[in-house]
Amino acid sequence: MDKLILIDGNNIIYRAFFAMPPLTNTAGQQTNAVYGFTTMLLRLIEEHKPSHLIVAFDAGKITFRHEGYEDYKGGRQKTPPELSEQFPMLKDLLRDMGVPQFEISGYEADDIIGSISREADEAGRQVMIVSGDKDMLQLASEYTTVALVRKGVTEVELYGPQQIREKYDLTPEQIIDLKGLMGDASDNIPGVPGVGEKTALKLLHQFGSVEGVLAGTGELKGKMKEKLEEHADSAVMSKKLATIYREVPLEHAWEDMEFTGIKGDTAGPALAKLEFKSLLERLSLSAYSPSSEGAVEAVEAAVLDITIVGESELEDLISALPGISALHVESNGENPHRAEVIGLGLSSPERHYFVPFALLQSHAAAPLRAWLGDSKAPKSGYDLHRADLALHWQGIPFAGAANDVQLAAYLLDPTEANQNLNDLTAKYGLPRLSPDEEVFGKGAKYKIPELEILGNHVARKSATVLGIVEKQQQELTETAMTGLFEDLEMPLSRILADMEKQGIAVNKEDLKELGKEFEAQISKLVAEIYEICGTEFNLNSPKQLGEILFVKLGLPVVKKTKTGYSTDAEVLEKLAPYHDVVRLILQYRSIAKLQSTYVEGLLKEVSEVTGKVHTFYRQTIAATGRLSSQFPNLQNIPIRLEEGRKIRKVFVPSEPGWSILAADYSQIELRVLAHISGDERMKEAFLHDMDIHTKTAMDVFGVTADQVDSNMRRSAKAVNFGIVYGISDYGLSQNLGISRKEASHFIEQYFEVYEGVRRYMDDIVLDARKQGYVTTLLERRRYLPEINAKNFNLRSFAERTAMNTPIQGTAADIIKLAMVHMDKALYERGLKSRMLLQVHDELVFEVPEDELELMKELLPKVMAGALTLSVPLKAEVSYGSNWYEAK
């Protein structure tokens, strides 16, 4: 079926300009807006496969709107030159890609779009309008959907008449009235002073239109009435200005809008000129990649000296091992504990080798395996942690990880989503690698290619590693992160691998028993719920549940999601007083979660080989420096509610007579905050080892310790959490279920007492603005490009991140240090105790009987001594016959 996409070119390029970091090409031209625009365009094309497509632009400076009102758009800031320059670039690129553009003298883009959509509506054609301008909502109809661009240009919200009704309870036409009343500062449309969205909506719900409101002022009183009567003309004129003109003369438009796909032969060179390598790749046009440095080296790369090693070449390789410093272990699958090893790429500066896995296992390859396991043979690679695990489960020990380029890339920019080797080649101007998907195929089509292709591909990976290493060393030095890399993250990666290989034993029988208990509760709850509702439905479907609760039972709608009714726990709590079934649903939800994720999910992860679960810690995911845990995630095992906490009983020592020993940092984040803010009062609290939430309550409410009741302490605790997260009055009000005003008052009280904390919060945001990044105590860095964004939400988010990251990140630094120290202590003392898990502020060990006393002393001492701050660190230790008992 025909599908037409209409893009508001001016609007989108503006948004892209402000949302994207200021990219420039090697010629020094800023290209960020063109880039942002194009990525969005490609996504639209991929997702919606339009048969017809245009980008509309404003033409000329004066439009017919100025004829009646010369200040129209008067308040708007002049377009920055960095953006104006990008208009011709974008228009050229669109032409080369084969995307039609419309520009009609005297009209704005939205008039063109409005007129085309009117014609399409009349012809019954499907249209999607893409813009960031809410005005466009007035064009929504049975056939026309408006895609409002959000979050820069990365997300869209789709609006038809129904969504508009749900959100505003207005028809599309009434959007014009809305703007007539509230105005629009960015277009210098005045509206009625003192009327914002809230008031405008109220008026429209009552009177229907601007005309209706003005005719009905008699029913109003006070200031509101005065304002409306005084500014009646303004409202009428504003409505006129906000009305999109839909009668632009268009000839032969439909044929001119036809879109048959991106024209590769002309788009390729155009994208190459702009140096949009990732887009070239995305369009499989990499052949056009710029003939810059990279391409020159690419030619050289074509003649890389690669040897596919067979039995006869093995000896040669073995004698070359001393010169080899980079390797790549090619394995498949996401979970490295279950990965198959496919082969090995090995590189010296001069020569590159590929060793198929079968050969690596042969008797003759013993010296190669010895080299792999030799801690004195330093190796560079990409994700050596994964390599270590994959080899381990094939019975091949791995050691000597000296330099992991994935880990270094993460430190250099931890927010960049997992940077694969090919992303890094682009970054460092190295020869491109074929994407794995091209070499292996993806999904069901995954297939190991013939030896020649495979060997070349994998050997190029190790060659690439070699090329990256040098440049990263330089960057780590420049950013003062060499120490963090060499003395913390690299040693930690080996420790993590050891913990994961060790795994933690799970008592499968007990877990199954627990599953039976849950099963009994679930079937009882399900039966009761169906009974009460008078029908059977899928309780796990929020959609079906919403239907039952809000339509069949007629409960009030508290909150909506973008696809329907929200039924999350917060909503259900509010509904509980209305209907008894809601409690049962809440209970069902919590037990069902335990059953599916923690009983069934965990059972699936227990290894057939070891009877344990072997999680995989990822060291390059969390932007703050924390670890994350997968397959299974052992960092979110239930503890808060007793029902769930029982799950912890099945985590047991792997040897008879041993114990589980756990220690967790007490209030590490607030202690870190006390240190980095230098707030004297907060430091005082920790120097005296006081209960920090009680102390906060005393200070905020101005009472003595014995006057602090549980409610006051609870509030103080929420404030403390808020402080760590980068507080907002709204967030706190939600958390405590109080008004925003009260929350705001709490926060003000808090900052009056904890002046040092206020200073820190102010300073860190200024710092971030100036430098573009924030750091932790150990110099871990996080860039915050949105800290200067014009968009309030983006900027606010960046500001909260600026406040939170040094705190959360320093806490992460500290426990990582403790892990390195603890590993060393165990080794030096020849202890048999083993580190098994890390849960952000907690370390879990299994400990033999005769080491228990020692470990109870040693562990908290090492943790507390990991780093010296101006307040003491404290770790509390506990132990038992399983993880539940160690509380």
Partner DNA sequence: AATGTCACG
Partner DNA sequence: ACGTACGTGACATTC
Rounded Cα distance between 777 and 698, Å, is 30
Nearer of residues 252 and 640 to DNA, judged by Cβ: 640
Nearer of residues 400 and 772 to DNA, judged by Cβ: 772
With binding defined as CB under 7 A, does residue 673 bind DNA? no
- How many residues bind DNA, per CB under 7 A? 79
With binding defined as CB under 7 A, does residue 653 bind DNA? no
Among 626, 671, 675, 695, binds DNA (CB under 7 A): 626
Q: What is the side-by-side strand order in the sheet with 401-404?
A: 306-308, 352-356, 341-347, 326-331, 379-381, 401-404
Shortest Å, Cβ 241 to DNA:
19
With binding defined as CB under 7 A, does residue 748 bind DNA? no
Rounded Cα distance between 833 and 844, Å, is 11
With binding defined as CB under 7 A, does residue 590 bind DNA? yes
Near DNA in 419-448, by CB under 7 A: none
Tokens encoding 583: 């409690």
Tokens encoding 302: 């074509």
With binding defined as CB under 7 A, does residue 876 bind DNA? no
With binding defined as CB under 7 A, does residue 24 bind DNA? no
Site string (97-126) toward DNA, x via CB under 7 A: ------------------------------
With binding defined as CB under 7 A, does residue 737 bind DNA? no
Near DNA in 786-825, by CB under 7 A: 792-793, 796-797, 800-801, 804-805, 808
Site string (542-561) toward DNA, x via CB under 7 A: xxx----------------x
Rounded Cα distance between 385 and 394, Å, is 15
Whether the Cβ atoms of residue 66 and residue 181 lie closer than 8 Å to each other: no
Listed ranges 13-21, 283-291, 314-322, 618-626: which one lies at the site for DNA (CB under 7 A): 618-626
Nearer of residues 501 and 740 to DNA, judged by Cβ: 740
Among 75, 80, 106, 196, binds DNA (CB under 7 A): 196
Tokens encoding 89: 């670039």
Among 206, 319, 535, 636, binds DNA (CB under 7 A): 636
Query: How buried is 695 (Cβ within 10 angstroms: 0-12 exposed, 13-18 middle, 19+ buried)?
Result: buried
The 3-class secondary structure across 506-549, one letter per residue, is: ECHHHHHHHHHHHHHHHHHHHHHHHHHHCCCCCCCCHHHHHHHH
Nearer of residues 85 and 438 to DNA, judged by Cβ: 438
Listed ranges 62-70, 405-413, 448-456, 641-649: which one lies at the site for DNA (CB under 7 A): 641-649
Picking from 169, 541, 737, 595, the residue whose alpha carbon sits closest to that of residue 549 is 541
With binding defined as CB under 7 A, does residue 562 bind DNA? yes
Helix (H, G, I), strand (E, B) or coil at 487: helix
Near DNA in 564-583, by CB under 7 A: 564, 566-572
With binding defined as CB under 7 A, does residue 512 bind DNA? no
The Cα angle at residue 632 between residues 630 and 636, in degrees rounded to 5: 85
Nearer of residues 375 and 540 to DNA, judged by Cβ: 540
Nearer of residues 278 and 734 to DNA, judged by Cβ: 734
Shortest Å, Cβ 735 to DNA:
4
With binding defined as CB under 7 A, does residue 773 bind DNA? no
With b meaning 16 or more CB within 10 Å and e meaning fewer, what string describes 739-749? eeeebbebbee
With binding defined as CB under 7 A, does residue 732 bind DNA? yes
Site string (690-729) toward DNA, x via CB under 7 A: ----------------------------xx-xx--xxxxx
With binding defined as CB under 7 A, does residue 631 bind DNA? yes
Rounded Cα distance between 470 and 405, Å, is 10
Rounded Cα distance between 269 and 266, Å, is 6
Rounded Cα distance between 47 and 42, Å, is 8
Residue 226 to residues 194, 214, 238, 291, 633, Cα–Cα distance (Å) = 11, 11, 18, 68, 61
Shortest Å, Cβ 883 to DNA:
11
Listed ranges 72-80, 87-95, 402-410, 562-570: which one lies at the site for DNA (CB under 7 A): 562-570
Whether the Cβ atoms of residue 867 and residue 780 lie closer than 8 Å to each other: no
Picking from 399, 496, 527, 574, the residue whose alpha carbon sits closest to that of residue 835 is 496
With binding defined as CB under 7 A, does residue 191 bind DNA? no
Listed ranges 286-294, 477-485, 504-512, 734-742: which one lies at the site for DNA (CB under 7 A): 734-742
Among 149, 623, 672, 844, binds DNA (CB under 7 A): 623
Rounded Cα distance between 866 and 267, Å, is 55
Amino acid occupying residue 753: V
Contacts 24+ apart (CB under 8 A), 374-378: 374/399, 374/400, 375/399, 375/400, 376/400, 377/321, 378/325, 378/402, 378/403
Amino acid occupying residue 560: K
With binding defined as CB under 7 A, does residue 241 bind DNA? no
Nearer of residues 245 and 797 to DNA, judged by Cβ: 797
Rounded Cα distance between 237 and 243, Å, is 10
Listed ranges 209-217, 310-318, 616-624, 869-877: which one lies at the site for DNA (CB under 7 A): 616-624
Shortest Å, Cβ 197 to DNA:
4
Question: For 99-231, where are the E strands, in sequence order?
Answer: 101-103, 126-131, 144-150, 155-159
CB-CB neighbours of 313 under 10 Å: 15
With binding defined as CB under 7 A, does residue 224 bind DNA? no
Shortest Å, Cβ 444 to DNA:
12
Picking from 493, 475, 593, the residue whose alpha carbon sits closest to that of residue 819 is 493
With binding defined as CB under 7 A, does residue 499 bind DNA? no
Rounded Cα distance between 365 and 798, Å, is 52
With binding defined as CB under 7 A, does residue 160 bind DNA? no
With binding defined as CB under 7 A, does residue 730 bind DNA? yes
Site string (825-854) toward DNA, x via CB under 7 A: --------------xxxx------------
Shortest Å, Cβ 564 to DNA:
7
With binding defined as CB under 7 A, does residue 628 bind DNA? yes
With binding defined as CB under 7 A, does residue 202 bind DNA? no
Nearer of residues 32 and 804 to DNA, judged by Cβ: 804
Shortest Å, Cβ 665 to DNA:
8
Helix axes 680-687, 692-701, angle to 10 degrees: 140
Shortest Å, Cβ 654 to DNA:
21
